[in-house]
Homo-oligomer: A and B are copies of this chain.
Amino acid sequence: MTTPSGAPGKTDERGTHRRDPYGHADMQRLLEPASVALVGASSNPASLGGRTLANLSTFPGMLYPVNARHAQLAGRTCYRSITDLPESPDCVVLAVPQEAVMDVASECAARGVGALIVLASGYAETGEQGAREQQALLALGRQHGMRIVGPNCVGVAHRGRGLHAAFAEFPPGPSVPGARVGLIAQSGALGLGLSQAAGNGMSISHVLTCGNSCDVDVADYVAWLAQDVSCDSIALAFEGLEDPQRLREAARLARAAGKRIAACKLGVSDDGRAAARWHTNTATDVDGGWPQFFAACGIVQVTRIEALMENASFLAKAPSSRTGGVAVVSGSGGTAILAMDAAQRHGFSTPQPLESTAGRLRSAVPAFGSPRNPCDATAQATRNPESLLACADAMLADPQYAALVIPWGRSQPARLIPELGTLSRRHGKPLCLVWMSQLAGGAAAEEVEQQPGVALFRSLDICFEALANWQKV
């Protein structure tokens, strides 16, 4: 059915209008546009319009800068208005002041534009007048079947399409093939900060922000990523959602497509909820509480935002969940001890290896190492990688263990990692590398990215949390 506002949906038992997440056709002109226009394109590289124009420069489709004061911008013809464009663009980014948004949006609607990305603030987050203006913008969009992203947002990026329609400088992911995380962040600043994980070797397929979410919200983005083959798992950070049931439906679509979701809900405290009302004024609660809601959706809830991306990447890499204990192999006794402490904090059993496993460990580690769990292959493992691989193989083969954790002081030698990947796949168990340096990245991290089954963490606690969540969902 179709509601008067043009959005498909249904009315629930309380009489509340509910729409399903937007389908592929509803979102295609937004996220797979053939043409993009930027109203408010600017020659000032520090302005919103200038930054967005620079980010859009890699777009392979038609790009139309719109600004009445320029004939050319960035080597392209610049147009006076949307009306003057040679075609009706699929997607239009509005980098104009709040006062000008409604006029431009009306022009876009009249021209048959498919989607607007509205950067301006000054809407529902400021009070009743702003809320009315946001409602008018939404009504216009619904009337013309024109998707609206924002207002009060930084934009979107879809790497597989070369689309970077945002004023924020989302970094590109590494150029290696990997477990591709689709990042959805209601807050643009978080989208920008979290996407920097790409600089640590993580493949990020999308950065999708929505700010006030008057039309397109995080549930719509989840539904999109569920069917987008360029994404393997979903990282979601959001503060509010008009209709949490829409997220439940989107999560069901993602699950059906074999994609797992890690989510960080902002505004879980009283003060945080109050702050959210002043930020995007989206509804922040759900009946029964968020932990129960996420559990029912099969979504992994992450409390600390810094754990979100590594959890999502792990979920893109881990094979099917299995029960059991955890084995630890390390080249350093200190990191192995810390791993035991963290395992205990997170309720894991760390049984001693079977006698057959111990025999294999004994023949692989030096006399001053430990053929136990944790297995300390000693610093010699750095120079003699075969010993580390032999220990990893023995531990992964032991049926007591569901996963293997390898803590290390910093990055491991990149040359080892493909062989660890082979072992993980052979045994069908996840292998978690924990590099205990906040700076560890580079070539070795890009090697990890290419190995299904091998996940990278920079915190033991985040690693064991991820494993615990994996065993729960």
Contact = CB atoms under 8 A, between A and B. Distances in A.
Interface of A: 46, 121-123, 125-126, 130, 152, 154, 185-194, 196-197, 199-200, 237, 239, 266-272, 274-276, 278-280, 303-306, 331-338, 340-345, 350, 366-368, 370, 372, 374, 376, 378-379, 383, 408-410, 435-441, 458-461
Given A276-B337, A367-B126, A190 B332 contact: yes
Nearest to A238: B334
Contacts of A152: 368
A274 B267 CA distance: 41
Nearest to A266: B337
Contacts of A303: 345
A460 B336 contact: no
Max chain B C-beta neighbours (<10 A), residue from A306, A333, A350? A333
Contacts of A436: 190, 193-194, 305-306
A439 B200 contact: yes
Contact of A333 (B125, B271, B435, B437): B125
Contacts of A439: 196-197, 199-200, 441
Contacts of A237: 334
Nearest to A276: B337
Contacts of A340: 267, 269, 271-272, 274-275
Given A368-B125, A368-B126, A459-B304, A267 B337 contact: yes
Tally of this chain's copies: 2
A342 B437 CA distance: 23
A191 B435 CA distance: 13
A217 to B, nearest CB: 15
Nearest to A304: B461
Nearest to A171: B439
B278 A370 contact: yes
A438 to B, nearest CB: 6
A189 B379 contact: yes
Given A187-B333, A267-B341, 4 more contacts: A186-B334, A193-B409, A271-B341, A278-B372
Nearest to A119: B379
Contacts of A271: 340-341, 343-344, 350, 374
Nearest to A380: B121
Nearest to A268: B341
Contacts of A186: 334
A44 to B, nearest CB: 11
A374 B370 CA distance: 51
